[in-house]
A = this chain, B = another copy of it.
Amino acid sequence: MHSADIPLFGVILAGGSGTRFWPLSRHLYPKQVLRLLGSQSMLEATISRLLPRIPLNRLGVVTSASQAEVIRLDLFRQGREGIRLWLEPEAKNTAAAVGLAAVLLAGEQEAETLAVFPADHYIRDQAALHVALNVGAALAQEGYLVTFGITPSRPETGYGYIKAGRPLMDGQAYEAARFVEKPPREEARRFLREGGYYWNSGIFVFRREVFLEALARHLPETYAGLRRLSAGEGGPGLAEIYATLPAVSLDHGVMEKAANVAVVPADLGWSDVGSWSALFDLLPEDSRGNIRVGRVLDRDSQGSLVFAQERLVATLGLRDVVVVDTPDATLVCHRDRVQEVKDLVAELKRQNLAESQQHLTVERPWGRYTVLTGGPGFQVKEVQVLPGKRLSLQYHRFRAEHWVVVQGVALVTIGTERRRLQANESVYVPVEAPHRLENPGPELLRLIEVQTGPYLGEDDIVRLADDFWRHADQPAS
């Protein structure tokens, strides 16, 4: 079989926790759904650059249950509903995530060879990726665990390095002689001088069975745990199994230990987009080395990144400063310290601050809402419903709602009554009244919702029917 004809099943790892790109990323709005580099989310870009080499019906996404809604929504918005979604009960790093997919794909003929991709990396050269995938697919048939190696451009100390050994396939690949995880600066410099070292890109190709054998050998606990999924009815549930799994990366737990590893040098224009400073390599700079996104007014700054949205950010005489502005939180950070943003977020979480969890604007399959303000006993939202969409039929135990339509047309069900509301019309939804909000028109529906009541949490929703298969206990309206 020609290597371009070897079927590949793509496993996309989308379990990132959303800390490095705070405040643009949040725990419930992680990096993989951000539009950092254009109009596509990182996840959508990851999917679309695989096409047509890996078609949609041979793609699956692994993510955590807590991020399921936002990932599902991102897929939905991009018209990618067909893609399989595997939900991990908790994050146990990449060995478990890939292991889960491999176990669940058992018996699928077109999933005999897997290609694994992080959901949140950038690759400029799609054609080169497809060439490398074909080389990887061929090597996988020979029993190799294949990893893609990026030619290092700087003595980066945050990555893993792979030393190339014996050439394979006329020098299109090498056996991996050695892995070095996060070397000291001096060693990284030596790697660059000597050559023959590659950055570990996190992209892998292998036969499913070869991978499972390696997992059984090098991470027997993970393998044994995941195999119990096959026990069928009466066997342990996924959450119970996941609780027992070690949290270890595929690189560290399997690739570094296995003997049958090959590296395919791949000049992909790759970036792991690991922090705000990575954008300096990926977005266009002005003549003073500044990057500006959104509503920014600058005077005489240099080497600075300002990422704004609707609010105005004015900057003056900055040197090497990163400013990221969102409706409820702003980060101002020296460019050399962006790696520590995750520590800031850890501190926010310790203090239990909502700004680490989610944005004021929350995306939903039917549209979005934005929290405008709130106080003791009340909360105000703007609700936007897409044309033809409707929210679930639901009621609230504790809150009443006042709706004022300000744009478009609403079809409102309250109890057994149905009413059409135009802009400048309002309606009252009493506590415990079953109700539904629908946009029957061709235009966006916008309304202002004033909630009042003793408890206003998002989890006070009892769903009676839903177009999006959501359950009553999910924190969503």
- A residues whose Cβ falls under 8 Å from a Cβ of B: 22-23, 297, 299-300, 306, 311-319, 321, 323, 325, 328-334, 336-338, 340-341, 343-344, 347-348, 351, 353, 355, 370, 372-373, 375-378, 380, 382, 400, 402, 404, 406-407, 423-424, 426, 428, 446, 448, 450, 452-453
In chain B, what residue has the closest Cβ to A372? B372
**Is B355 touching A312 in the complex (CB atoms < 8 A)?**
yes
**Is B423 touching A312 in the complex (CB atoms < 8 A)?**
no
Min C-beta distance of A471 to chain B, whole Å: 29
Residue numbers in B under 8 Å from A311 (CB-CB): 328-330
- In the assembly, what is the distance between CA of A321 and CA of B304, in Å? 13
**Is A341 touching B317 in the complex (CB atoms < 8 A)?**
no
A316 and B299 contact, Cβ closer than 8 Å, known pairs A380-B372, A400-B424, A404-B450: no
**Is B313 touching A330 in the complex (CB atoms < 8 A)?**
yes
- In the assembly, what is the distance between CA of A372 and CA of B321, in Å? 30
**Is A317 touching B340 in the complex (CB atoms < 8 A)?**
yes
In chain B, what residue has the closest Cβ to A311? B328
- In the assembly, what is the distance between CA of A327 and CA of B347, in Å? 23
**Is A333 touching B316 in the complex (CB atoms < 8 A)?**
yes
**Is A23 touching B314 in the complex (CB atoms < 8 A)?**
yes
Min C-beta distance of A413 to chain B, whole Å: 20
A316 and B337 contact, Cβ closer than 8 Å, known pairs A372-B372, A377-B423, A450-B406: yes
Residue numbers in B under 8 Å from A300 (CB-CB): 337, 340
**Is B336 touching A317 in the complex (CB atoms < 8 A)?**
yes
- In the assembly, what is the distance between CA of A332 and CA of B428, in Å? 44
**Is B448 touching A347 in the complex (CB atoms < 8 A)?**
no
- In the assembly, what is the distance between CA of A445 and CA of B316, in Å? 40
Given A318-B321, A377-B406; 5 other pairs, CB 8 A cutoff: A22-B314, A299-B344, A312-B353, A375-B406, A376-B407
